[in-house]
A and B are shown apart, each in its own frame.
Chain A
């Protein structure tokens, strides 16, 4: 089992709709979770982090964490064409504090 798993996509969502991106992780002791956005040919950009179970909202973005299910998600409301990118889920591993990345989900917002 990979440490951080994401569906590679592409996920196609109409403009204005909600995009839902999902991630599972294997280290039950992990405490910190991150979502990065990466445009093609560019470096990752941190958009959200979450430490506690439940929802965390920042503008159009909501991160959701369920530690019991080892599941973290990112919702993007009112999706815009500029949201088209690869979204990387990252988990801070408990045993050594290293951040491990998933392969990312490619999101395509349809105009």
Chain B
């Protein structure tokens, strides 16, 4: 089945220790998104790739970076995680934004 896969499902990292979250898709969608969702809050868009074009949200902290080496894969790098970065990180894809987004299962990040 075509899908969006995020690894790992759960990630524990130490305060200040760089961490990378990964996302892959078999839908061949041209747009990939990273959202951060904290408890009882709306998913917050961090950035997205339209094909190879990177688009950063104005309020996304510099601590967050992203890479998309090819159509299928996208990575979220958190350079120095703080306690406030503990959240669910959601990867989503779309075909030029049509018909909404398809989400991966998410990665729950804990910072200790």
Contact = CB atoms under 8 A, between A and B. Distances in A.
Bound pair (A, B): yes
Interface of A: 4, 8, 32, 34, 36, 41-46, 49, 88, 90, 92, 97-104
A106 to B, nearest CB: 8
Interface string B92-112: 000001011111111010000
Contact of B43 (A41, A42, A88, A92): A88
Interface in B20-72: 40-43, 45, 48
A92 B97 contact: yes
Nearest to B101: A99
A97 B100 CA distance: 11
B42 A101 contact: yes
Contacts of B105: 42-43
Interface residues of B, number: 18
Nearest to B97: A97
Contacts of A41: 88, 108
Given A41-B88, A88-B43, 20 more contacts: A34-B100, A36-B100, A43-B88, A43-B90, A43-B103, A43-B105, A44-B43, A44-B103, A46-B100, A49-B99, A97-B97, A98-B45, A98-B48, A98-B97, A99-B97, A99-B100, A101-B42, A101-B43, A103-B40, A103-B42
Interface of B: 40-43, 45, 48, 88, 90, 97, 99-106, 108
B41 A49 contact: no
B42 A102 contact: yes
A92 B105 CA distance: 22
B22 to A, nearest CB: 15
A8 B108 CA distance: 22
Nearest to A6: B42
Contact of A104 (B42, B106, B108): B42
